């Protein structure tokens, strides 16, 4: 039995090996992902969009997240490989330090090994306190969907020099505070590459280019179930495959071999 944890990811990073992450929200898909070799399962608050049908992640609650973390945990309890389970702290669930600790505790008790939190340097104290309390934290920067109303839409972040420097500095502050993983969404490839070189913790990208340690996609998107126009970084891994587990395996192989993401999936500037 192989259990994936933060040390495993650090080893991949050290050896320059790429790892694959997908979102899952229930036991069956989580089990299928584990069997296909997906190293990290993200129970993302994207469930608000792909499961619940909302047009953003904002309506998702901590209880919603807890229910799905428990299901994913049960799905991976008997598998040969046990992917690492990461769970989102949803919108407004980390508004204060007390709420952050209480809600992160709830997700960890449900089965998460890492909690993911969206934002920049303003989260430094919360990240430090989580770390002190034994809660590894993945910081999500760039396009942070919970702030869609501040961004005025789902847009690439860090295109101008000032915002790029701000994101770089946010990453420095948050990793110094104890962040265990950095996840970058929709930032230009050169910025993501600079961040990859700057940090010593594992990095994961979505629409952030090929140079990060891991890649993540929303499961529904990579199975071709996205609604409307797909974002640039989405590739349909089910096309040409005979089943869903084959699609997950094709994704794992493409990420490990560096075939995904390809140039058409990232933003050059």
Helix (H) or strand (E) holding 3: strand 2-3
14 vs 262: CA distance, rounded Å: 23
Provide the CA 130 distance to its chain's centre, in angstroms. Answer: 18
Stretch that binds ligand KIV, among 39-47, 65-73, 130-138, 191-199 (CB under 6 A): 39-47
Stretch that binds ligand KIV, among 2-10, 43-51, 69-77, 189-197 (CB under 6 A): 43-51
Query: Which two structure tokens, joined as six digits, stand for 104?
Result: 């992160």
**Toward ligand KIV, which CB reaches closer, 54 or 242?**
54
Q: Is 216 in the site for ligand KIV (CB under 6 A)?
A: yes
How many residues at the interface with ligand KIV, by CB under 6 A?
A: 11
**Toward ligand KIV, which CB reaches closer, 130 or 218?**
218
Stretch that binds ligand KIV, among 5-13, 38-46, 236-244, 257-265 (CB under 6 A): 38-46
Query: Which two structure tokens, joined as six digits, stand for 60?
Result: 């998702």
Region of 14 (left: φ > 0; alpha: ψ -120 to 50; beta: rest) is: alpha
Q: One of 39, 118, 185, 189 is an active-site residue; which one?
A: 185
Give Cβ neighbours of residue 89 (< 8 Å, ≥ 6 apart): 62, 65, 100, 103, 104, 107, 115, 116, 117, 118
Query: Which two structure tokens, joined as six digits, stand for 58?
Result: 């904002």
DSSP letter string over 45-84? TTHHHHTT--SSSTT--HHHHHHHHHHHHHHTSSSSEE-E
Annotation marks residue 80 as catalytic: no
- Residues 77-106 vs ligand KIV: string with x where CB under 6 A? -----------x------------------
Q: Which of 46, 113, 157, 211 binds ligand KIV (CB under 6 A)?
A: 46
- Residues 118-157 vs ligand KIV: string with x where CB under 6 A? ----------------------x-----------------
**So which residues are the catalytic ones?**
185
Give me the residues that bind ligand KIV (CB under 6 A), please: 23, 42, 44-46, 88, 140, 185, 206, 216, 218
């Amino acid at each position: 039995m192989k259990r994936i944890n933060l040390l495993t990811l650090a080893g991949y990073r050290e050896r320059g090996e790429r790892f694959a992450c997908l979102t899952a929200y229930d036991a069956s898909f989580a089990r299928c992902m584990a069997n296909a070799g997906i190293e990290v399962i993200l129970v993302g608050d994207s469930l608000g969009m792909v499961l619940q049908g909302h047009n953003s992640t904002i309506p998702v609650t901590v209880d919603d997240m807890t229910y799905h973390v428990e299901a994913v945990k049960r799905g991976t309890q008997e598998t040969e490989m046990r992917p690492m389970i990461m769970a989102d702290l949803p919108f407004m669930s980390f508004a204060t330090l007390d709420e952050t600790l209480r809600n992160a505790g709830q997700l960890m008790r449900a089965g998460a090994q890492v909690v993911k939190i969206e934002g920049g340097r303003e989260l430094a104290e919360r990240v430090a306190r989580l770390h002190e309390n034994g809660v590894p934290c993945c910081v999500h920067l760039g396009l942070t969907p919970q702030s869609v109303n501040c961004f005025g839409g789902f847009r690439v972040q860090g295109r101008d020099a000032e915002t790029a420097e701000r994101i770089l500095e946010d990453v420095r502050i948050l990793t110094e505070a104890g962040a265990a993983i950095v996840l970058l969404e929709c930032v230009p490839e050169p910025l993501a590459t600079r961040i990859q070189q700057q940090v010593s913790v594992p990095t994961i990208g979505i629409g952030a280019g090929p140079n990060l340690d891991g890649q993540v996609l929303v499961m529904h998107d990579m199975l071709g179930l996205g609604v409307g126009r797909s974002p640039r970084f989405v590739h349909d891994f089910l096309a040409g495959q005979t089943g869903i587990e084959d699609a997950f395996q094709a994704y794992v192989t493409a990420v490990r071999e560096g075939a995904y993401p390809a140039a058409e999936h990232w933003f050059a500037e």
